Copies of this chain bind each other. A is one copy, B any other.
Amino acid sequence: MVVTKINRPSDALLAGFDGLGVATVHEAQGRKGLLASNMRPIYRPIHMAGSAVTCEVAPGDNWMIHVAVEQCQAGDVLIVAPTSECEGGYFGDLLATSLVARGVKGLVIDAGVRDVAVITEMGFPVWSKAVFAEGTVKETLGNVNTPIVCAGAEIHPGDVIVGDDDGVVVVSRAEAESVLAACRAREANEEEKRQRLASGELGLDMYSMRERLKAKGLKYVDSLDSN
């Protein structure tokens, strides 16, 4: 099944996520939404923020990605998840060319990709769990723009996807506005902390940790023998 009409976040909202770090977004929304740590970028440094178009594929079969391309528009990120564990090379430079032509911001795929030298030259952002040239077939139908689980995270069409060198995080469309505000607050706060730490202030003091550590029973000894 292909769902053709999905709600997307506004361009202004998406633009707000440009340049935000994955760790920042993850923390700002209460430590949730991360895709599994094996979703690695094919080049570094890398950054992407966009609106999810989801695509569920059969193992070793990339037919539905061709179907999904048509559903993508400028500002989207294509999210691909196979129904069964697979590291085949679902995606190469031709599909990347097609997505770039449509203004798509990047690809996140819980499987393999190929032609990574060319895609790296193109500067098209891709996160995958494998780089592998194994070809795929075009035999089995799947779904486009239905809710899916990709790399352990639930993703709905129109969710905000942010990716960087650390990996990928999803923000539900309903919460995107408030999460963006929380990200900005966090970033401002971190900049101040960064300067204090750079000047030599300790986190123990800056975060007022000493008392709680002591209450928990932390002991300081000169040496193990003096224990």
Contact residues of A with B, CB < 8 Å? 1-6, 21-23, 26-27, 31-32, 34, 36-37, 40, 44-45, 47, 58-61, 63, 66-67, 69-70, 83-89, 92-95, 97-98, 100-102, 112, 114-118, 120, 130-135, 137-141, 146-147, 149, 152-154, 164-167, 169, 190, 193-194, 197-200, 202-204, 207, 209, 213, 216-224, 227
The complex places the Cα of A137 from the Cα of B166 at a distance, in Å, of: 19
Q: Which residues of B contact A222 (CB under 8 A)?
A: 3-5
Q: B137 and A58: CB pair below 8 A?
A: yes
Q: B203 and A66: CB pair below 8 A?
A: yes
12 CB < 8 A contacts A-B: A1-B219, A2-B220, A23-B89, A26-B133, A36-B85, A37-B134, A58-B137, A59-B134, A84-B87, A101-B200, A117-B164, A138-B209
The winner among A6, A93, A95, A114 for most chain B CB atoms within 10 A is A114
Query: Among the listed B36, B131, B213, which residue makes an inter-chain contact with A67, where contact means beta carbons less than 8 Å apart?
Result: B213
The complex places the Cα of A98 from the Cα of B75 at a distance, in Å, of: 37
Query: Among the listed B31, B66, B115, B204, which residue makes an inter-chain contact with A23, where contact means beta carbons less than 8 Å apart?
Result: B115
Q: A141 and B93: CB pair below 8 A?
A: no
Residue of B nearest to A194 (CB): B97
The complex places the Cα of A223 from the Cα of B51 at a distance, in Å, of: 17
- Give the distance to chain B from A157, nearest Cβ to Cβ, in Å: 9
Q: A45 and B117: CB pair below 8 A?
A: yes
Q: A94 and B190: CB pair below 8 A?
A: yes
Q: A3 and B94: CB pair below 8 A?
A: no
Residue of B nearest to A217 (CB): B141
Assuming the contacts A23-B114, A112-B37, A227-B1, asked whether A197 and B97 have C-beta atoms less than 8 A apart, the reply is yes
Q: B83 and A86: CB pair below 8 A?
A: no
Assuming the contacts A2-B218, A58-B137, A167-B133, asked whether A66 and B204 have C-beta atoms less than 8 A apart, the reply is yes
